[in-house]
Structure formats: C-alpha cells, structure tokens
C-alpha cells in the first residue's frame, strides 16, 4: 500500500483525498475531465497551481494502473 502524502499544499489535499475523490466518479473518459472533477471535489490545484502536474500524474496512474 502506498503511503499517503500531501499533494497540494495550498489546499491541503493528500494522495488519499485524490484517490477517494476519483472513486466517487461514476465514469471518466480521460485524465483531464477526471482532473476537473477532482478539482471541484477537493479544490486541489486551485491555489498556486504548482501541484497541477503531480495531480495529473496521480490521476493517470490511478486510471491506468
């Protein structure tokens, strides 16, 4: 099991937060629309934007892994 860690410091969104937000989505066609949905749920990447690439990477790992 992966260790939880903070992904978005501005909004205090952790890896686990992103993972559980992803699981609440019924379906997602692509990483970008999943990103937007998760952004709405967790507010990650709505501050400085510095975590954007990390969030995208985690979502695509979770979706394809």
- The alpha-helical segments, DSSP class H, found in the chain are 15-24, 31-42, 52-64
CA–CA gap between residue 30 and residue 40 (Å, rounded)? 16
Nearer to ligand FES, 10 or 41 (CB): 10
Q: How far is the CB of 45 from ligand FES (least distance, A)?
A: 5
Interacting residues toward ligand FES by CB under 6 A:
8-11, 44-51
User: Which one, 29 or 35, has the nearer CB to ligand FES?
Assistant: 35
- Virtual CA dihedral for 54, 60, 62, 65, nearest 10 degrees? -130
Cβ at position 47, least distance to ligand FES in Å: 3
């Amino acid at each position: 099991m992966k260790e939880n860690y903070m992904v978005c410091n501005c909004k205090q969104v952790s890896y686990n937060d992103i993972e559980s937000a992803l699981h609440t989505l019924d379906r997602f066609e692509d990483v970008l629309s999943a990103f937007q949905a998760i952004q709405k749920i967790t507010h990650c990447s709505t501050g400085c934007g510095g975590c954007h690439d990390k969030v995208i990477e985690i979502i695509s790992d979770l979706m394809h892994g």
